Structure 1
Amino acid sequence: MRGVSPVLEVPFTATGDIDPDSFRRVVRYVLATGVSSMMFPGFASEFYKLAEDERRTLTAVLLAETGPRADVAAIVAVQDHATRLAVARAREVIAAGADLINLLPPHFLSPSRRVLVDHVRAVLDAVAPTPVVLQYAPTETGTSLDCTTVAEIAARHPNLRLVKVECSPPGRFIAELAALDPPLPSIEGYAGVQLPDAIRRGAVGTQPGCSFTEIYVEIWRRFSEGDEVGGEELHRRLLPYISYWMLDTELIIAAEKHISARRGMIATDFCRAPARELDREERRMIDRFLIDFADLLPDLSDR
């Protein structure tokens, strides 16, 4: 898992039902951008608004598309609060064909550090040797972990292979993990707001939303090929938009789905309530975004 690894959005019909055919289109679009992995479901997928049968249906669509391909990895997320349920879900999706597990530690009602560690270890034990990405998103969850704790878990569980760092700013935590012996690789999230700094500090990948994957792929390509000036310049063009949208999780979900609908990737930009309604100025901002990045974002409606 290296480079850009988008988190898939969930298309809904105008009446709020999941749209599996449109979701398949989203998966195929992301694959066509040249990424080597993708994740479902995450915050960008509105996972907390999906019923169990809906989640299974969409996971099956993802794995049907990625399963025959040796060049791409499907990362399936486990966000259950109860350890028993998290273990069961992790085993279920691995049996269905997931290549990696993304584990979000429990956060409802502020569980203790010991409980968090026990939960993470239980899932790691249950799925070994399948590799696991530990998601660290303190802003969204209020859950705090330090580098020493993560290192102790990784020392006992070698299938903890990556940490998705979504603290703000993420750079110091990424650098601390990279300095461990052995190093623990990180991927950066949070829409790539601090992506250049994360790359310089050792991040091996980024995990944004999926509605404008081409921009992240191009930023990553430039940095990977030594064009740091070019990578910084493209990121500076993107930053005014993502820094505003990431002020609120529901805002960036609404913005990305509106972008996807405007590009022709999904039929509607419907978000399940409670959701953030884009106002007039926010929609005009997306108009400017699509003009500013027309060189990288083709119309997908005829594909």
Structure 2
Amino acid sequence: MYEELFGIIPPLVTPFRADGSIDEGALRTETEYLIATAKVHGLAVCGSTGEGHTLSTEETRLITSVVIDTAAGRVPVITGIIANSTAAVIERGRAVRDLGVAALQVTPVHYVFRPNDDAMVRHFDEIAAATELPIMIYNVVPWTYLSPELLTRIIDEVEGVIGVKQSAGDMKLLADLLLMSGDRARIMSAVDALLYPSFALGAVGSIAAILTAAPTLCVELWDAVQAGNHKKGLELHEKLLPIWNAIFDDNLPANTRYCMELQGREGGIPRPPMPVTSIDQKGPIREALLNAGLI
């Protein structure tokens, strides 16, 4: 079930203009590039790379609508929701329900007050029931980071939860989650630095910023691992890791845009207060892309 969610699913940046509006033309162009040229397997919008924490419900619907319309059924589209209450998540989920999204990618709450485990289960249960959409848990928020045990409990108890996007850099947690969940859920890796071992361990794909920064290399990596060509997989890993090391910072969405810019793709600017890529950051990013053969 939900086998269409697999492989390389880049999280799109949101192309903001200087006045804060969304450049729909740039969004359509990038969507078309990722599908037709990079040959990705799906798309995700309004996540961390898309600065989903800054978006309104209306903007979430607009972005989702534009990308689904441009994709025209060629790949599935996932909508991200980063919000701090069950009601707020439900509002956004219902706002995109009629658009044909494949799933919602939902974080636990990201403010400082952590729900206990029972409340966390209820949170995702109520979202799934009220939106009537499949839910993929985006396990990324440090102070509400969900253990493999809790994630497996949610998968088993909440019918609408179909998978997890496992973030942060701990491969042991990813491996434990893959082992505990078995074939009951779609486990996607967001361990950007270690996609090669993630795929080798059995992750069904990835939703991660590095996919947007270097989509063609990531598709090559996925294909290599699926074909059992681990020599090529390791070679691609060694190209991708320096790119991740160069872009990983508090302004990651801005640095992802800079990667796009260097490759001739338009990503707009980040939404304030996030700063643009600095002069000090630009040199290492350019060098990493050059060494990877992307520019």
TM-score (norm 1): 0.86
Q: For the Cα contact (< 8 Å) 2:139–2:164, is it kept in 1?
A: yes
Aligned mates of 1:157, 1:3 — CA distance in 2: 24
- CA, structure 1 residues 164+174, in 2 after alignment: closer, same or farther (shift >3 Å)? farther
- CA, structure 1 residues 107+287, in 2 after alignment: closer, same or farther (shift >3 Å)? closer
Per-residue deviation, 1:226: 0.7
1:69-113 deviations in Å (ceiling 9; x for gaps): 2x4101011222121221222122122221211111112122222
One-letter code aligned to 2:222? W
Which residue, 111, 114, 117 being the options, matches 1:111?
A: 114
Matched with 2:87 is 84
The percentage of aligned residue pairs carrying the same residue is 22
Per-residue deviation, 1:219: 1.0
Matched with 1:222 is 224
Matched with 1:158 is 159
Per-residue deviation, 1:181: 5.6
Matched with 2:64 is 59
Per-residue deviation, 1:275: 1.6
Q: For the Cα contact (< 8 Å) 1:222–1:230, is it kept in 2?
A: yes
Does structure 1 residue 38 correspond to structure 2 residue 37?
Answer: no
Structure 1 unmatched ranges of 5 or more: 299-303
Which residue, 111, 124, 145 being the options, matches 2:128?
A: 124
Which residue, 233, 236, 239 being the options, matches 1:234?
A: 236
- CA, structure 1 residues 280+85, in 2 after alignment: closer, same or farther (shift >3 Å)? closer
Equivalent pairs counted in the alignment come to 287
Aligned mates of 1:118, 1:174 — CA distance in 2: 26
| 1:45 match: secondary structure | coil
Which residue, 54, 64, 72 being the options, matches 2:75?
A: 72
TM-score (norm 2): 0.89
1:102-156 deviations in Å (ceiling 9; x for gaps): 111112122222332221111122234x3221110134xx212122222222222
| 2:83 match: secondary structure | coil
Matched with 2:25 is 21
Q: For the Cα contact (< 8 Å) 1:178–1:185, is it kept in 2?
A: no
Structure 2 unmatched ranges of 5 or more: none
Q: For the Cα contact (< 8 Å) 1:75–1:98, is it kept in 2?
A: yes
| 1:43 match: secondary structure | coil
Matched with 1:177 is 178
Aligned mates of 1:36, 1:242 — CA distance in 2: 21
Does structure 1 residue 271 correspond to structure 2 residue 277?
Answer: no
Per-residue deviation, 1:242: 0.3
Q: For the Cα contact (< 8 Å) 1:259–1:286, is it kept in 2?
A: yes
One-letter code aligned to 2:144? T
Per-residue deviation, 1:22: 0.5
Aligned mates of 2:182, 2:41 — CA distance in 1: 27
